Amino acid sequence: MTVAMNHPAKAGWRFVKPSVIPGFGLTFGYTLLYLSIIVLIPIIGLFLKAATISPEQIWKIASAARTLNALKISFGASLIAAIVNVIFGLIVAWVLVRYKFPFRRLLDAVVDLPFALPTAVAGIALSTLYAPKGWIGWLVSANGPLHLGWKIAYTPTGIVIALIFIGLPFVVRTVQPVLEEFEAELEEAAATLGANRWQTITRVILPRLTPAILTGFALAFARAVGEYGSVIFIAGNLPNISEIAPVLIVIKLEEFDQAGAAVIAAIMLVIAFVMLLVINLIQTWARRRFGDV
Amino acid sequence: MYEQDDFVYDSRRPIAPYAHTRPTTERDWIKRTLIGVAFAFMLLVIVLPLALVFVEAFRKGAGEYFMAFGDPQSQAAIRLTLLVAAIAVPFNLVFGIAAAWCVAKFEFPGKAFLTTLIDLPFSVSPVVSGMVYVLLFGAQSFLSPFLKANHIEIIFAVPGIVLATIFVTFPFIARELIPLMQDQGNGDEEAALSLGANGWQVFRRVTLPNIKWGLLYGVLLCNARAMGEFGAVSVVSGHIRGKTTTMPLDIEILYNEYNFAAAFAVASLLAMLALVTLLFKTVLEFRYGDELAGTRKH
């Protein structure tokens, strides 16, 4: 509730709606200043740097085989990891919301671990776990009891494993609240109308969860595309095979090829903006379709 | 519970020949399978890597474990990590409160755009977050001659690490406070103002007590990320051992030197930080759930 200080017709246009609460100028000014110094100016600087490069040069960097392969690996692995996360994240969220069982609260708390565990720690742990002599790596290797001959660490599969680890909470934490607020009446109505459980789930519950699932997918995907710390240890970082785009940026920076790094970074930033936009569009669409999500 | 002839729905009694179970839940074997899948997946993907950190850290015994912290370079890394978090978190705390105050308490055009900009660092790759400062302050930047003339070191020095950390932890506190303060509305503050309180008194005596748990929640998450940030810091640090290596960078160096016991020993400290953060988070959500934005129920 705000109190109108002046009659709107007399006050004319004002940037901020009149309010008795003090401190708008101070907090708004500080927010803009701090945002500009820390985030906006550095990011604009990146695009200005990329803009100083001639279009032919940009095209050459962007279309180089190594760049394309790095982007392909980054996006491909992120896509697979996000799909895996949607499937298992949905199961975990469902189990946490719908069933009562021992250690439920513990399972719930553990979901957030990838948010809290530093990426470098996750990276060395996953790498050691899936290395040929690691607990899981040995189990699935040719020498292991299963004689599977699988290699996970230092291959693109390892990248996917790391990205599954960091992306899981995004799906669970976006689906879980929607599932908690789900109106039981809808399911009961479907059941009274003769739907069996499978039909109720696929035709009533899943459509209602779709916006949350898509948002979780987009968040997990966006995070995975930019991920660095947890991937570099397990990936092996072989150019064109298991080298992700952020690693290529770091390599270019270490070679003092700032132009090359800036072009790839700009491509990734544009994609990040698009992902942000897509997430916002999904949520706007969901609000219109379902009232609120 | 019910009399045999009561016409009450009872899950133990089929209501129709084809209804083997309550129509609004799954059969028991499906339930058990799903719970099993959820536990197995979480165990494999999340619990096992965490357990491995501690097993590897103590593989050569407690003596070796504590010896890792005797290494002066690792000690320097721990000190630097604490220093960086001690600078970055308060900066983002002040910003978070200012941003939440102006976004939640006022109506102005472009508000949605402003909140999107505040969230921006979350969608930027950590590597790019560090790189923007290299472009701005690095040896090839246009600011470089000025910085050199004044003997100011930013990149490959502590200020760059602090800046990169502030960037990646930028939205944490603000995005925790904004929805919380929006939910609480302006009523309390308006009442205090009408009773003669000044702006600072309103904030300290009315707003701050209302948001304290949300604030603590945001600070915890911000701190965990600040101490654990790797990618952004790695780009600006220059990896000068004992000088510009934070704990995550120290872990990388030790690991790449095949000094696994020491790498996992340092990693175990960060893993414990993560566990403590999660514990606090769970307790806060459990006890003050309705005073936190993230878990707010209607």
Q: Where are the domains of chain B?
A: 1-57, 62-291
Whether complex ipTM tops 0.90: no
CATH topology of domain A43-290: MetI-like fold (1.10.3720)
pLDDT the model gives residue B10: 57
Percentage of chain A exceeding pLDDT 90: 46
- Mean pLDDT for B259-271 is 94
* Cβ distance of B25 and A98 shorter than 8 Å: yes
**Is B236:B164 a contact under the CB 8 Å cutoff?**
yes
**Nearest CB partner across the interface for A121, out of B46, B53, B194:** B53
pLDDT digits (tens, 9 = 90+) for B75-108: 999 999 999 999 999 999 999 999 999 999 999 9
Tokens of A72: 């392909």
Tokens of A263: 């072009």
* Amino acid present at A259: A
Tell me whether A89 touches chain B (CB under 8 Å).
no
Tell me whether A106 touches chain B (CB under 8 Å).
no
Alpha-carbon span B231 to B125, nearest angstrom: 8
pLDDT the model gives residue B159: 94
Alpha-carbon span B129 to B170, nearest angstrom: 11
Vertex B85: Cα angle to B81 and B89 (nearest 5): 170
* Amino acid present at B150: N
Tell me whether A241 touches chain B (CB under 8 Å).
no
pLDDT digits (tens, 9 = 90+) for A227-263: 999 999 998 888 888 899 999 999 999 898 888 899 9
Name which of B125, B189, B278, B298 to mutate to probe chain A: the one with the most chain A Cβ atoms within 10 A of its Cβ.
B125
Q: Which whole-number Å values give the CA distances from B245 to A293, B91, B167, in the listed order?
A: 43, 21, 18
Alpha-carbon span B112 to A55, nearest angstrom: 34
**Which residue do the tokens 């979350």 mark?**
B122
Alpha-carbon span B170 to A40, nearest angstrom: 12
- φ and ψ at A252, to 5 degrees? -65, -40
Please tell me the class of the B62-291 domain: mainly alpha
* Contacts with B90 from chain A: Cβ below 8 Å: none
3-state secondary structure of B125: coil
pLDDT digits (tens, 9 = 90+) for B211-220: 999 999 999 9
Name which of B97, B135, B186, B270 to mutate to probe chain A: the one with the most chain A Cβ atoms within 10 A of its Cβ.
B135
3-state secondary structure of A145: coil
pTM across the whole model: 0.87
3-state secondary structure of A3: coil
**Is B297:B290 a contact under the CB 8 Å cutoff?**
yes
* Cβ distance of B39 and A107 shorter than 8 Å: yes
Alpha-carbon span A113 to A89, nearest angstrom: 14
Crossing angle for the helix pair B126-137 and A206-226, to the nearest 10 degrees: 40
- Mean pLDDT for A166-171 is 94
pLDDT the model gives residue B3: 46
* Contacts with B23 from chain A: Cβ below 8 Å: 188, 191-192, 195-197, 200
Q: How many CA within 13 A on the CB side of residue A259?
A: 12
pLDDT the model gives residue B1: 45
Higher confidence at residue B25 or residue A32? A32
CB pairs under 8 A between A and B: 297
Alpha-carbon span A56 to B49, nearest angstrom: 45
* Contacts with B189 from chain A: Cβ below 8 Å: 21
Shortest CA distance to A42 belongs to which of B128, B202, B8? B128
Higher confidence at residue B222 or residue B293? B222
**Which residue do the tokens 């948001």 mark?**
B211
How many secondary structure helices (H) and strands (E) does chain B include? 15, 0
pLDDT the model gives residue A29: 95
3-state secondary structure of B253: helix
